[in-house]
Amino acid sequence: MGKGLFVTGTDTDIGKTFLTGELIKCLHDAKVNVGYYKAALSGAEWIDGKLVGGDAKYVFVHAGLEGEPNDSVSYLFEEAVSPHLASKHLGTEISLDKIIEDYNRKVEEHDYMVMEGSGGILCPISIGKEKIMLPDIVKALELPVVIIAAAGLGTINHTVLTYEYCKNQSIPVKAIILNHFHIEDLMEEDNKKMIEEMTDCPVYVWSEKEKRLNMTLAEILYLF
């Protein structure tokens, strides 16, 4: 069975999908057998009479993966809200067992698996018959985490809080990546330094000028 990694962020729209796609692309380009999975995807769009998960489609196109993107998502919702609310509005029950089963089915097909989270680490997934929070899924699958965060003002608080929550939940954090980083920006350079000191975790930067993630294959494989 393959090794897995969970991508979370300090907020929604922080860059989880872009990071997930880039990590998978780097591995796929290196001829590594890697797959994608997302438990619950909100904000899907109707295209040619079919509900399409934009996050999954982006990852597949960016990384050059074959197959149907929707097959890598357990629960697909059109409404662009938290999965717990989208499922409540539709009367859909979300099952942790199904998520585990779907993930394990995908991971058996690949040597490495990157799972993209929904929202931040404390995103509620279900408030129906089952009460499921995102950490319940991460812990059930025994996945290490990489955190993507903003580079600018306020990121020290957001990032360290996310890291500390994971730590308190016994969820290992393998790395932190600061998105939209401005090289030679004194505040952002200090943000990186402070987060490294406060978390004792490797911190990488993804600058505004770099279309590709500046990490070696060995550094990416270490995350797993």
- The catalytic residue positions are 38
CA dihedral 37, 39, 42, 47 (to 10 degrees): 50
Spatial contact of 140 and 100, defined as CB atoms under 8 Å apart: yes
Task: Give just the sign of the alpha carbon dihedral 189, 195, 197, 200.
Answer: negative
Helix or strand (DSSP H, E) at 173 = strand 173-181
Token pair recorded at residue 21: 């796609």
The CA distance from 76 to 70, in Å, is: 8
